[in-house]
Amino acid sequence: MSARRIDLVISDVDGTLVGTDKSLSPGTIAAVARLHAAGIGFTVASARPPVGLRGLVETLALRLPMGAFNGATVVGPDLAVIEERLIPEATARDAVDRLVAAKLDVWVFADGSWSLRDPAGAYTDLERRTLDAEPNVVADLSPLLGRASKLVGVSRDHAHLAACEAEIGGALEGRAVVHRSQAYYLDVTPPGIDKGGFVDWMARHLGIARDRIATFGDAGNDGAMFARSGVSVAMGNAEDAVKAAATDLTDTNDADGFAEAVDRLILP
């Protein structure tokens, strides 16, 4: 149990803050309201694009900067870009070649849009619900690769995607960050930037120590965030490696694990 004062909570979204159905539970909404009432800041760091954070802002009364694309793009509550980093074009082209060779569906997030070639491909319906947005269907993704914020390899074969994470991540080491944000999504984001960098950014922005920040997550891309915060909470639905990296554990995202840990670990 945490005994230190927490000034800021940063949470992952999918698999953590929202349930499997992508909704915010009444318990989660109430827990964030209790943080606000206690004077504790709250924001999110997500693999989602900025548009995918829009629905959280009003419901959770978010007022602080948010980290989209695993922190590579920092936006305000109005979704206006504060800072942005893109994938170098040569790396983006190499990454897409490798994703295609691995027989993965490929999505490109660029120019504020979600672009793909097959609108009926795996998990497109889920992403529509998650983002509350339609994809930009194109015949050729190549013209977008000079302006890509994130690439995603998508597959229903979760074991294959885990193997691709290791193989493609190794091939692109130092040129991009490669992590699964879900069992079915392999994200490629700009080099040298991860959710841990967003923790550092928020600490500087608010003038607070990192050990006064608590982070919540469930996936491999949350480990960098855990390493940079004083308190880190892994969800009950997280993989064992993610749980091992956290200072504390809670229940699953479908059982109000976020709210339970906020009351037990964070609130005075």
CATH label of the domain that carries residue 55: 3.40.50.1000
Domain boundary residue, one of 189, 206, 235: 189
Say if residue 3's pLDDT is above 60.
no
Q: Are residues 110 and 57 in the same domain?
A: no
Residue 210 in domain: yes
Residue 1 in domain: no
Residue 63 in domain: yes
Q: Residue 187: in which H helix or E strand, if any? A: strand 185-189
State pLDDT tens for residues 8-55.
Answer: 999 999 999 999 999 999 999 999 999 999 999 999 999 999 999 999
Domain boundary residue, one of 154, 172, 189: 189
Q: Are residues 102 and 163 in the same domain?
A: yes
Say if residue 4's pLDDT is above 80.
no
User: Side by side, which strands form the sheet with 113-116?
Assistant: 136-137, 113-116, 105-110, 148-154, 185-189, 177-182
Q: Are residues 108 and 182 in the same domain?
A: yes
Q: Are residues 198 and 120 in the same domain?
A: no
Q: Are residues 79 and 210 in the same domain?
A: yes
Residue 65 in domain: yes
Residue 222 in domain: yes
Gap between the Cα atoms of 256 and 234, Å rounded: 13
Q: Are residues 119 and 99 in the same domain?
A: yes
Q: Cα(first)–Cα(last) distance of the chain, in Å?
A: 12
Residue 73 in domain: yes
Average pLDDT, the chain: 96
Mean pLDDT of 258-267: 97
Structurally, how many domains does the chain consist of? 2
Gap between the Cα atoms of 66 and 198, Å rounded: 9
Say if residue 154's pLDDT is above 80.
yes
The per-residue pLDDT for 1 is 47
Residue 54 in domain: yes
Q: Are residues 123 and 168 in the same domain?
A: yes
Q: Are residues 80 and 166 in the same domain?
A: no
Of 183, 184, 169, 196, the closest CA to residue 91 belongs to 169
> Among residues of the chain, what percentage have pLDDT more than 70?
99
Q: Are residues 32 and 150 in the same domain?
A: no
Q: Residue 109: in which H helix or E strand, if any? A: strand 105-110
Q: Are residues 185 and 200 in the same domain?
A: no
Domain boundary residue, one of 136, 162, 189: 189
Mean pLDDT of 206-228: 96
Q: Are residues 93 and 185 in the same domain?
A: yes
Residue 2 in domain: no
Domain enclosing residue 110, as ranges: 89-189
Q: Are residues 73 and 199 in the same domain?
A: yes
Mean pLDDT of 124-131: 94
What CATH number has the domain bearing residue 102? 3.30.1240.10
